[in-house]
Amino acid sequence: MRGSARQNWHIPDPDLSKERQDQLLRAALQQRRVGEALRNLLPTHPQYAALRNALEVTPAGETAKIGRIRLNMDRWRWLPRDLGERYIIVNVPAYTAALVEKGVTLSRHRAVAVRSRRRPRS
C-alpha cells in the first residue's frame, strides 16, 4: 500500500533507542564493520530464519514467491527483536493463530481473517 492507504502497523522496539542506534553506527564506522553491524540488527526469530532459508532455495524464476518472502522478511524487521515470553502469532495464509510461551508453541488454532467492509464514521 502506498500513500494515505498505508497503515502505521509497526511496533516500537525499546531495545534500540535513537541513542543506541547512534552508538552502534559510530562504533561500526570507527571499526570499519558497518556490514557486520547491520547484519547483527536483523531479526533473530526462528520464523525470520525460516523465511531467509526459503528465499535461498526458491528458484530465481519464481519472482512472485520471492516477492512474498521478501515482503514477510521486511515485516519481521519492523517488529521488536524480543516479542516477550508470551505472544500470539497469526499466520494469515494458513488460517492459524498460535500461542507461544518461552519459545514453545503451546497451542495452535484455526483462525479466520476477514476484511472489514464498513467505513469508519467521520
What's the rounded Cα separation, in Å, for the pair 78 and 9?
9
Banded model confidence at residue 16, pLDDT cuts 50, 70, 90: confident
Q: In what order do the strands lie in the sheet with 96-101?
A: 86-91, 96-101, 104-110
Whether the pLDDT of residue 10 is over 70: the answer is no
pLDDT above 60: residue 103 = yes
The pLDDT value given to residue 114: 74
Q: For 36-94, what is each residue's pLDDT tens digit?
A: 998 888 888 888 999 999 999 999 999 999 999 999 899 888 888 888 899 998 887 78
Q: Is the pLDDT of residue 8 over 80?
A: no
**pLDDT the model gives residue 93:** 78
What is residue 41's three-state secondary structure?
coil
Label residue 1 by pLDDT band (50, 70, 90).
very low
Sorted by where each begins, the domain ranges of the chain are: 83-122
Handedness of CA 61, 65, 9, 84 (dihedral sign): negative
Integer angstrom CA distances of residue 67 from 49, 63, 96: 16, 6, 22
pLDDT at residue number 62: 96
The Cα–Cα gap between 46 and 103 comes to 9
Please state at what angle helix 63-77 crosses helix 46-57, rounded to 10 degrees.
Answer: 160
Dig out the grid coordinates for 116 from the structure: 472489514
Q: Is the pTM of this model over 0.75?
A: no
Whether the per-residue pLDDT at 2 is higher than 60: the answer is: no
